[in-house]
Amino acid sequence: MNKEVGASREVRVLAATGMLGTGFSEASFNRALEWNPDVIGCDAGSTDPGPYYLGAGVPMSSREAVKRDLRIMIKGGLAKGIPVLVGSAGTAGGAPHVEWTVDIVKEIAAEEGLHFRLAEIQSEISGEKLIEYFRKGKMKPLHPAPAIDESSLRRITRAVAAMGPEPYIKALEEGAQVVIAGRSSDTAIYAAVPIMKRLNHGPTWHAAKILECGAGSVEQRLYPDCMMAWIGEDHFRVEPPNPEMKCTPVSVVSHTLYENADPFRLAEPSGVLDTSRATYHQDGERGVIVRASEFHHSPTYTVKVEGVQLAGYGQIAMGEIRDPVVIRQLDDFLNDAKNRIMEKVKTSLNLDRDSYRLHFRVLGDPRPSQGRKESEAYGVGVVIEVLAETREKAAGIMAIAWHTALHHPVKEWSGLVSQIAFPYSPPNADRGAVYQFCLNHVIEPDDPLELFPITMTDL
């Protein structure tokens, strides 16, 4: 085998970060570029923050933060002739999310004077289209799945289908240098180039799964960052470019558990990744080699769909009860209050109690737990507060604040952690304009009437 053929049997894949807009170290990224990746990928979405983003057609991340990450990726990729693939654009991958991301890319191109071929891949699927599949018996439930029928499909606000690597491959074959794609299987972004280059599916999909959270598979992720994989015929190797972080066999294997119900079998559109026989070995101080990953092709190609419908319109008010007398009888107090509210709503608004939902969520209940059930477990309430010069800045700061706090580590727990239970999607509620008192003065007019002009109108 000559050197050229040998070299072509390895594909190097760089994940810029776990989620576009959460940031990465530019030094790490530049170091990874020196390793000559064949593709730079980044996942930009998830169903994790809940149904809101798909329904509302807005992204979770701050526009400025996404633009910062994209600018570094696109400039770096174009300078070295490496394609840049972004999947699940704008958090949910619907048409408005793709458009939002493409708009940022165009802005970067104009600002930097960059010229390149951009591919935009849509993944939104209409209710009518879903009904067609449903009628043909081509829509099957996963477990657990809500029951559906034609009328529920008609009520869907927005739905997306999660693409496999094939649309990315098509775009690349047509010369795309930057691909902005809608909802994708997280791994498809990273599997596209290795599959295009006909590498084995086992190591490819397994490496893609490890790359999908960026530096999430290191021993101690200090902050969101890059991850690199070298994929070969019968193995792959991962190593973070950041010298402050390292992969170990346990940190890498632990990542195959993360966010998967079944740690050994991971469903993809064309089949199932089987990691049950995989072995993990340290390679160098910060790298890990994985062997014996298998991929079983399925007889039918399946694409996962996600959809949301309108549940209603919400309001929240946050407060604190501090009087020990009230706290002593908290359950009774809240039940009585709830009943009184519902009576008044009936009287004043003529709304029956089963036509809406009202709930008191008690945070930081000081009373000892009555049992071991999860529903009885108490927590401590946290209100994250932001005040900024404009609504956009406040939203941008809050998007970073809640997400950073969510995954902020403590030394007692290793691995990726989620430290705050946010009950709402989105986690934050815009308070709109906030005011402050700024006068407590007197003025001294010359005439008692001068402050009170009177206008006469003849009708």
Q: How far is the CB of 419 from other proteins (least distance, A)?
A: 7
Interface with other proteins by CB under 8 A: which range of 15-23, 106-114, 198-206, 246-254? Answer: 246-254
Q: Which of 2, 347, 370, 375 binds other proteins (CB under 8 A)?
A: 375
Looking at the DSSP bridge assignments, the partners of residue 178 are: 84, 118
> What CA–CA distances, in Å, run from 229 to 35, 191, 205, 213, 274?
10, 11, 11, 12, 19
Query: What's the min distance (Å) between Cβ of 48 and other proteins?
Result: 6
Instruction: Give dist(CA 377, CA 184) in Å, integer.
Output: 36
According to the binding rule CB under 8 A, does residue 262 interact with other proteins?
yes
Residue 175 lies near other proteins (rule: CB under 8 A): no
**Selected range binding other proteins among 127-135, 205-213, 408-416, 441-449, rule: CB under 8 A:** 408-416
| Count of residues touching other proteins (by CB under 8 A) | 55
Under the criterion CB under 8 A, does residue 47 sit at the interface with other proteins? Answer: yes
> Taking contact as CB under 8 A, which single stretch among the options 127-135, 196-204, 236-244, 422-430 is the one that binds other proteins?
422-430
Instruction: Compute the distance between CA of residue 237 and CA of residue 229 in angstroms, rounded to an integer.
Output: 6
Identify which of 161, 220, 183, 207 has the alpha carbon closest to the alpha carbon of residue 39. 207
**Judging by beta carbons within 10 Å of its beta carbon (0-12, 13-18, 19+), is residue 54 exposed, middle or buried?**
buried
* CA 36 to the chain's CA centroid: 28
| Site membership for other proteins, residue 257 (CB under 8 A) | yes
Pair 17, 42: CB distance under 8 Å: yes
Interface with other proteins, residue 339, by CB under 8 A: no
Residue nearer to other proteins on the CB measure, 73 or 278: 278
Alpha-carbon distance of 271 to 261, in angstroms, equals 17
Q: Are 315 and 261 in contact (CB under 8 A)?
A: no
Among 115, 136, 373, 411, binds other proteins (CB under 8 A): 373
Distant-in-sequence, close-in-space partners of 178: CB < 8 Å, separation ≥ 6: 74, 77, 83, 84, 86, 105, 116, 117, 118, 119
Contact 89, 182 (CB under 8 A): yes
Stretch that binds other proteins, among 18-26, 42-50, 113-121, 324-332 (CB under 8 A): 42-50
Residue positions counted in the chain: 459
Question: Is 409 a binder of other proteins (CB under 8 A)?
Answer: no
Shortest distance, CB of residue 393 to other proteins, whole angstroms? 24
* Interaction residues for other proteins, span 96-125 (CB under 8 A): none
Residue from 321, 382, 387, 421 binding other proteins (CB under 8 A) = 421
The reply to whether 406 sits near other proteins by the rule CB under 8 A is yes
Measured in degrees and rounded to the nearest 5, phi and psi for residue 95 equal: -55, -45
Q: Which of 61, 217, 256, 293 lies at the binding interface for other proteins (CB under 8 A)?
A: 256
Asked if residue 263 binds other proteins (CB under 8 A), the reply is yes
The alpha carbon dihedral of 184, 89, 99, 121 has a sign of negative
Q: Mask of contacts with other proteins, 307-336, x by CB under 8 A?
A: ----xx------------------------
**Binding region for other proteins (CB under 8 A):** 47-52, 142-146, 249-250, 253-254, 256-264, 278-280, 306, 311-312, 357, 359, 361, 372-375, 377, 379, 406, 412-425, 427
